[in-house]
Structure 1
Amino acid sequence: MNRREFLTGFAALSGLMALGKLNLASAATGEEQYWVFVSANGGWDTAAVCDPKGDIAYSSSLGNINPYSQAEIRQAGALRFAPLLDNNFAGTDPMAAFFNNQYNHLQVFNGLDYQTNSHQVGIRASMSGHQSPLYPVTAAVIASLNASQYLMPFYLGSGYGNTANLVNASRLNDLGRVQDFTNPERYLTSSVMDLVNSEHQAAMAALGSNASEAEQLVQSQFAAAHLNGPDLKRLLDKLPASPSTGDKLKAEIAAASFAAGLSNTAAISIGIFDTHSDHDSRQTVALVEYFEAVNHLIAQLEQQGIADRTTLVLTSDFGRTPYYNSDKGKDHWNVGSTMIWSRQWQGNRVIGATDNQLKALKVDPETLELSPDGVVLTQGHIHAAIRQRMGISMSSHINFQYPLGVDLLQLFT
Structure 2
Amino acid sequence: MLKTDLEITAPPARVPFYRHLYFQVIVAIVVGAVLGHFEPAFAVQLKPLGDAFIKLVKMIIAPVIFLTIVTGIASMTSLKTVGRVMLKAMIYFLVLSTLALVVGLLIAHVVQPGAGMNINPAELDTTEVTKYASKAHDLTLTGFLMDIIPETVIGAFTTGNILQVLFFAVLFGIALALVGKPGEPVLKFFEALTWPIFKLVAILMKAAPIGAFGAIAFTIGKYGIGALVNLAWLVGSFYVGALLFVLVILGLVARVNGFSILGLLRYLKAELLLVLGTSSSEAALPALMQKMERAGCGKSVVGLVVPTGYSFNLDGTNLYMTLAALFIAQATNTHLSMSEQLGLLAVAMVSSKGAAGVTGAGFITLAATLSVVPSVPVAGMALILGIDRFMSECRALTNFIGNAVATVVVSRWEGALDRDRLDAALHGHELPMPELNEPTLPT
TM bracket, shorter-chain basis: under 0.3
Structure index of larger Rg? 1
TM-score normalised by length of structure 1: 0.27
> Larger RCO: Structure 1 or Structure 2 (Cα < 8 Å, ≥ 6 residues apart)?
2
TM-score normalised by length of structure 2: 0.26
**Of Structure 1 and Structure 2, which has the larger fraction of its residues in helix?**
2
